[in-house]
Amino acid sequence: MYDTPYHAIDLTSRTVLVTGAAGFIGSHIAEYLLKYGAKVVAFDSLVTGLQSNIDLFLNHPNYTFVKGELTNLYDCERAMVGVDVICHQAALGSVPRSLKYPKATHESNVTGFLNILEAAKTHSIKRVVYASSSSVYGDSKGLPKVESSIGQPLSPYAVSKYSDELYANVYNSAYEMELIGLRYFNVFGPRQNPEGEYAAVIPLFMKSLLANQSPYINGDGEQTRDFTFVENAVQANIKALFTTNPAAFGEAYNVAFGARVSLNHLVDQLKVLTNTNVNAIHREPRQGDIKDSLADISKAKELIGYQPLFNIDVGLKITLKWFEENQEILGL
C-alpha cells in the first residue's frame, strides 16, 4: 500500500502529530508519513486503540509515541513540542456507543477536540486536519450528500462531530488557523478491529465468513453505504495536511468513493471472495443508523485535489488478504 505519493513537497523536514495513532485510520496515516520520510509524533490513550498499531512503528527512528488523554490539556500540549502540523484522528467512535455513553462521547470528541485546538494555538501550530463524520448528515434524505446541506443529528456521536466542525470554523476565523475537516464515509481496510460490540460491519462480516459462520445484518440489509477504502482516507488527510490552497481552509469535506452498495450486496460479494455459502441472519434495525448514504466528493476534488483510487471491489480484496494473513487477530 501507499506506493502512490499524495504529497508534492519534501516531507523529511516535517513533523506531524497524529492523534489516535493506535487506531485504525491513525495507524495508516502514520504508516504513509513514515514511508515518505516525515517524523511522526503518535498520541493515543490506548483506551480504544491497539498497542499492536503502535508496536508496528516503535523501532522506526522517525516515530515517537506519547501516551496521553485528549481530555487532559497538559497531555495535549506536551505532545505538540516541535510539531509542524496536526492530524487529529482520536475520538470515541460508534453511534451505538454514543447512545449508551453520551457524556463520555462529548468529553472525548468535543472537549478533547477543543483541547487540541487550544494546545495548537498555544504552540503556534496553524494547520489542523481533523476527522469528522458522515453522521453529521443525520436525518437528511437527499442523495448524494452535499456538505452544505445537513439534517438533524440522530446520535450524540453525530452531535459531537458537528460540534467539532463549528469549533473549527470559529478557530479558523477568530485565530487565523488553518482548519480542515474530513467527513468520513464508512472507512474500511487492513488493521480494522473486528472485535467488540462496536466493531464496523466489514471486519465483522469478514470474520464470520472466514469462520464459515452466518454474519448478522441489522435490518433488512437494503440500507446502502458509500464504503471508503482506507488508502482513500489517507490520501485525503495527506492532501489536506499539505495543501497550499487558501480556499481549502475552514471547510469540511466528504471523504468517500462516491458509490454505494447495500449490505445484502456486500455480503454476497464477500461470500464469493471467501468461497462460503452461509446465509446472513437479519436482526432488528439499530437505533441511530441512517438508511442510505452516498457522498458527493466534488468539493474535495476541487479544493484539496482528492482523487480516490480504490473502489470497494479492490479494497475488499486487499482487506480480505490482510485478514487471511492475520487470522490470529480474528481468533481463527
C-alpha 134: how far from chain center: 10
**For 78, what's the count of Cα atoms within 13 Å in the CB-facing half-sphere?**
12
Among residues 75, 59, 96, 72, the alpha carbon closest in space to that of 17 is found at 75
Residue 225 CB-density burial (10 A; 0-12 exposed, 13-18 middle, 19+ buried): buried
Question: Which one is catalytic: 63, 157, 162, 253?
Answer: 157
Is there a contact between 322 and 133 (Cβ–Cβ < 8 Å)?
Answer: no
Structural contact between residues 299 and 248, judged by C-beta atoms closer than 8 angstroms: no
Exposure string over 247-265, b if 16+ CB within 10 A, otherwise e: ebbbbbbbbbbbebebbbe
Cα–Cα distance for residue pair 6/108, rounded to 1 Å: 30
Q: DSSP string of 220-244?
A: SS--EE--EEHHHHHHHHHHHHH--
- Catalytic site includes residue 175: no
Residues designated catalytic = 157
